Amino acid sequence: MLFTDTHIQGLSGDMLPDKNGPSAMGGGGQGGLAEHPSVSLFREYLRLKTVHPEPDYGAALRFLERMAKELELPMKKVEVCPGRVVAIITWTGTNTALQSVLLNSHMDVVPVFQESWKYDAFAAVKDAEGNIYGRGTQDMKSVAIQYIEAVRKLKAEGKRFARTIHLMFVPDEEVGGHKGMEMFVKHPEFQALNIGFALDEGLANPGESFTVFYGERCPWWITVRCPGSPGHGSRFVENTAAEKLRKIINSFLDFREQEKHRLNTSECLTLGDVTTVNMTMVKGGVAYNVIPEKMDATFDIRIPPTVNLQEFEAQIQRWCKEAGEGITYEFAQKHTNQDLTSTEDSNPWWKIFSATCKAMNMNLQKEIFPAASDSRFIRAVGLPAIGFSPMNHTPILLHDHNEFLNEQVFLRGIQVYQELLPALASLPAQSSEV
């Protein structure tokens, strides 16, 4: 469906919460048309520097407090560890005995290489086509604002649903979630939310379809350490670290080549169905003419749910053994839960989610999420979760230079949640709940 100017204006008119609401934050717009207040709000959130390595979570939390106030909903803050706060805005349902719907988003974003960007990555510049540039436009500040704006609209219409809806904003997803969702799912406050189903981030789709994710690859971040004999750089020293490192790199990257070939020669495979391996750091050495006593290589490996993880680790052990004496490895990230969320009609949450999308003429492509999101921690505690960011006709640019999202695609996403939330939050009581 396409927006017309009238339609956008119509939406904006009744979405103005008050004079001090997001409309006051305005920011131009094209061709003399006032910018939609939801777009202005999105751009404001993009300008908050929640970027690693030192995200300004304070700014994000102040922003969210303001949102909760505007929505007239309570916001709870749970400090999972020092300086790491999870914020939850709750719209309580009429039947609190029922399980709730979780709308999750992370507040943090990854760093940028500013020299390679067309615009300041934290200025949220909008070009003449309505493309909004900024770190987090796709990953995933858009989704956070879409949740908020959909709830704002539904509340303004006087709606109320049986099930409670929680809007959750978590820190540190981009650095592994250890001080964020991984900790929070074990917290009593998480249990207390009584969640039945979760939505979290997905990926853009360049075509007309929308991609939805029912599982994820397991991220393994591994550093392999190769010890060796030191000596003068002019000699043929035996047992050097570099010789071992070369074999390690060859084993890992040969496997990378095989998997790449498998993906490229099979029509039915997507990135989420094969194992990727990338060497992301190499360390070692002190001087030109000193053979070092150790060298390290770090790999980012993503393993699909179909792979046997014990066998995969045994393969890594063989590679290390074959490369020489004394090689060790350690993990900075080793997720092992391979649970999937059912996309059969026997899963009532999936059934209502997919039927609601279908009713909006949205075509869904089901895939395994090739990267990792906080959904993996939600699934690991036994809850169903779907990764979904309503962005079609959009190139996949997360973590990339010039990440952008078009304002019309963004606004359409709010309408998508305006349909999805009532459907999910009105799902009748299930036999497991009574």
- Is 44 a catalytic site residue? no
187 is in an annotated binding site: no
- Contact pattern for Zn ion over residues 123 through 142, marking x by CB under 5 A: ----------------xx--
d(CA 131, CA 126): 5
176 lies in the binding site for ligand MET (CB under 6 A): yes
- Report the site for Zn ion in 139-168 (rule: CB under 5 A): 139-140
Q: Among the options 35, 149, 172, 173, which is catalytic?
A: 173
223 lies in the binding site for ligand MET (CB under 6 A): no
Q: Which of 307, 282, 305 has its CA nearest to residue 295? A: 282
Stretch that binds ligand MET, among 82-90, 274-282, 315-323, 365-373 (CB under 6 A): 365-373
Whether the CA torsion 48, 49, 55, 56 is positive or negative: it is negative
d(CA 199, CA 190): 15
333: partner contacted, choices Zn ion, ligand MET, none (Cβ within 5-8 A by kind): ligand MET
Q: Among the options 35, 44, 108, 216, which is catalytic?
A: 108
d(CA 123, CA 379): 35
8-state DSSP, 109: B
Residue indicated by tokens 């997360």: 398
Position among 89, 371, 414, 425 found at the interface with ligand MET (CB under 6 A): 371
User: Smaller CB distance to ligand MET: residue 261 or 331?
Assistant: 331
- Residue 397 amino acid letter: L
399 is in an annotated binding site: yes
By the 8 A CB rule, do 63 and 69 touch? no
Position among 90, 223, 270, 333 found at the interface with ligand MET (CB under 6 A): 333
- Residue 131 amino acid letter: N
Name the pairing type of β-strands 84-91 and 165-170.
antiparallel
140: partner contacted, choices Zn ion, ligand MET, none (Cβ within 5-8 A by kind): Zn ion
By the 8 A CB rule, do 327 and 224 touch? yes
- Report the site for ligand MET in 14-53 (rule: CB under 6 A): none
CA–CA–CA angle 342, 343, 346 (5° rounding)? 75
Residues at the contact surface with ligand MET, assessed by CB under 6 A: 173-174, 176, 219, 333, 371-373
Binding-site residues: 106, 139, 174, 201, 399
Residues at the contact surface with Zn ion, assessed by CB under 5 A: 139-140, 201
Q: Residues with catalytic annotation?
A: 108, 173
